[in-house]
Amino acid sequence: MRTAILALVFVGLMGGAAYADEYDLTGGVLICHAPPMLVYTATIPDYCTHYETIAMFDCCQDQINEFPCDNLEAFVWYILSQFYEPKTFNAIEMGISYDPDVYSTVQGGICCPGAFMTIEYPSAGAWPGNGSAIAASTTEVDWSGDCVVTHWLSGYAYCAPYGPGQGTINLVTSPQTGFIGWASMSGICAAECIGAMGIGQPGEACCSVRPPDLACCMPDGSCVDVFTEDACDALGGVLYPEACALTDCPQPPDPEACCFPDGSCQMLLEGACVHAGGTFYPGQDCATFECPIELMACCMPDGSCEDVLTEDACDALGGILYPDPCALTNCPPPPDPEACCMPDGSCVDVFGEGACDALGGILYPEVCALTDCPPPPDPEACCFPDGSCQMLLEGACVHAGGTFYPGQDCATFECPIELMACCVSDGSCADVLSQAVCDDMGGLLYPENYCAEPGFECPPCVEAACCLPDESCVDVCEAECADIDGIFFPADYCDSPGFECPPPPPEFACCFPDDETCTMMPEADCHAAGGCWFNGRICESAGGDFTCPPVAVCCRGERCSITAQENCAGEWHPEWDSCGPPNPCECPVPNEPASWGAIKALYR
């Protein structure tokens, strides 16, 4: 299993390095520090907060890396995370290694910045024993600062004549993960220097030093001090080897005149001018330079010419664009007009087949004056399934869903009535005129048949959607649906688009006055069985904590019910236990049908 520090590494991942990023832990070190003569004692309840009273002024200069050599006292020392500027991290992982003949651990702990944290021991030994490791991650408040205490430890150093008297307590990579360092929102970061605590000899000192500033010159000529090339790349700049104070960033060129076809002018750089579709004039200023107006000829179908500024403008006029203005362009003469015969027999002179097609006509080679357009056909009888008749052209009849009868007139022709068989759920048949009527009956349409047609019979039943109390759905006949206590939907199938079975009513505690048993059931079923329903309450038998309270008479006006006091909306009488006879009130019914049977009734 990967340790907690690595599990939390990529939560809120922020990406590459950036200048003064509090989550970029690059260059961080681990320091071992033994405050002078700090002896482990029960009188100090919390060595983490105690460190605040004895904290080093300068972690780099004031750290003490040599453990007192005293066989009689257990001294306290600390592990600190030091950075060249304040940083924020949410996890730390490390191992520890030492010679048990030289040093013996007494106690140790994690200095957590908040009330809660996650701790893992990825190795067999218990921290801070020799060969053990620890990974800790915050759950509320992150560690933050430039010299942050994260662990405290205490133990004995065995000096002569009780031990060798020399050695080191080393911070090492975790035996399981091979990692020592931190994690933050930017990712994991290994310690650049790992301190060690010396016993009878100096240990290993570490110090995080701020890297030199580098200049990042921006496209606008400004400068930003950064630490790395990646940080400059992220800003879109160019890196220079010295700080901004020692670097002259190249300045961008001045914008110059950019002319557009309509004669307007903008001060732009050359690339921006070309990208915008303009013509760049180096050395010119819009305030003093007059841009030429670049007109182009747009030759129209009738041979006329219009000066335009853009191809889009010519396209909108329906013309052909030429690069020079009209004064320098000879537009081609228009073609001869041709006759375009319309569906109603009328004629329009047009130029080209495309113009006639746009009008919905048929093109003829001569002009209208020399063309006899064919007259439109007369409308004829168009019959509809209900027997009605309209005088329409053939195309309009088919489009309207009718049957065209050429040569017939509605005044003398009797349209046939086109009945269709509609088989309903009980197996019976009804003749209908349309699919919609059959749908309203909840039936299945047979458009090629009618009920009295020889040899045609409806199937014994029509399968449709049947919703069961558990919200599942099966396609069965109506009678079978009733047998399995379902709700039948004759116009739908289970897989019909948008069809869903209605949810069952909620079941909560129902108490009965005779034995005060508690049963989970819908409200309406509870009242029908003579019980008292408790909305939102779960019986103990169903995993809840509700037990049935005592019941008595509840009078609400002239109505009487046996219920618990909390369910009584009127006047509760604990001294009465029966509604009669004679009955002072009448048993209540639920405000809305909510039983499965009641829901079934809604769809019948």
Q: Give 216-258 pLDDT, tens digit per residue.
A: 999 889 999 888 888 899 999 999 998 899 999 999 888 999 9
Average pLDDT of the segment spanning 370-396: 89
Tell me which residue has tokens 């129902």: 510
- Lowest mean pLDDT across 178-182, 295-299, 386-390: 386-390
Residue 583: what pLDDT?
67
Average pLDDT, the chain: 85
Token digits of residue 219: 């496209």
Q: Give 97-109 pLDDT, tens digit per residue.
A: 998 888 889 989 9
Residue 5: what pLDDT?
42
Q: Give 35-89 pLDDT, tens digit per residue.
A: 998 999 988 989 999 998 998 889 999 999 998 776 678 899 999 999 999 999 9
Residue 262: what pLDDT?
81
Residue 255: what pLDDT?
93
Residue 192: what pLDDT?
94
- Lowest mean pLDDT across 316-325, 339-348, 471-480, 549-558: 549-558
Q: Which of 69, 75, 84 is nearest to 44 (CA)?
A: 75
Average pLDDT of the segment spanning 570-596: 66
Measured at the CA of 114, the angle between CA 111 and CA 120, to 5 degrees, comes to 60
Q: Is the pLDDT of residue 385 over 60?
A: yes
Q: Is the pLDDT of residue 588 over 50?
A: no
Q: At 370, phi and psi to the nearest 5?
A: -110, 10
Q: What percent of the chain has pLDDT over 70?
A: 90
Average pLDDT of the segment spanning 536-540: 88
Peptide bond into 581 cis (omega under 30): yes
Q: What is the 3-state secondary structure (H, E, C) of 69-92?
A: CCCCCCEEEEEEEEEEEEEEECEE
Please check whether residue 113 is in contact with residue 144, taking contact to mean a CB–CB distance below 8 angstroms. Answer: yes
Q: Where are the domains of the chain?
A: 4-199, 214-246, 296-328, 338-370, 463-503, 508-601
Q: Give 295-305 pLDDT, tens digit per residue.
A: 899 999 888 99
Q: Is the pLDDT of residue 376 over 70?
A: yes
82, 426, 462, 492 from 466: Cα distances, Å: 71, 15, 12, 9
Average pLDDT of the segment spanning 462-473: 86
Residue 340: what pLDDT?
94
Residue 558: what pLDDT?
75
User: How does residue 505 score in pLDDT terms, banded at 50, 70 and 90?
Assistant: confident
The letter for the amino acid at 141 is V
Peptide bond into 454 cis (omega under 30): no
Average pLDDT of the segment spanning 459-487: 85
Measured at the CA of 116, the angle between CA 8 and CA 10, to 5 degrees, comes to 10
Residue 599: what pLDDT?
60
Q: Is the pLDDT of residue 383 over 50?
A: yes
Q: Is the pLDDT of residue 459 over 90?
A: no
pTM exceeds 0.75 = no
- CATH code, 4-199: 2.60.40.680
Residue 17: what pLDDT?
34
Q: Give 100-139 pLDDT, tens digit per residue.
A: 888 889 989 999 887 677 887 655 468 888 888 888 888 7
pLDDT higher for 491 or 536?
536
Q: What is the per-residue DSSP string for 364-386?
A: ESS-GGG--PPPPPPPEEEE-TT
Residue 11: what pLDDT?
34
Average pLDDT of the segment spanning 344-370: 89
Average pLDDT of the segment spanning 501-510: 86
Average pLDDT of the segment spanning 160-168: 68
Residue 197: what pLDDT?
94
Q: Is the pLDDT of residue 13 over 50?
A: no
Report d(CA 88, CA 390) in Å as an integer. Answer: 84
Residue 590: what pLDDT?
47
Average pLDDT of the segment spanning 504-520: 82
Q: Is 67 exposed, middle or buried (0-12, 13-18, 19+ CB in 10 A)?
A: buried
Helices (H), 289-366: 311-317, 353-359
Average pLDDT of the segment spanning 572-595: 64
Residue 94: what pLDDT?
94
pLDDT higher for 423 or 206?
206
User: How does residue 596 score in pLDDT terms, banded at 50, 70 and 90?
Assistant: low
Q: What percent of the chain has pLDDT over 90?
A: 36
User: How does residue 458 score in pLDDT terms, banded at 50, 70 and 90?
Assistant: confident
User: How does residue 268 score in pLDDT terms, banded at 50, 70 and 90?
Assistant: very high
Question: Hey, what's the torsion of the CAs at 388, 390, 396, 402, to 10 degrees?
Answer: 20
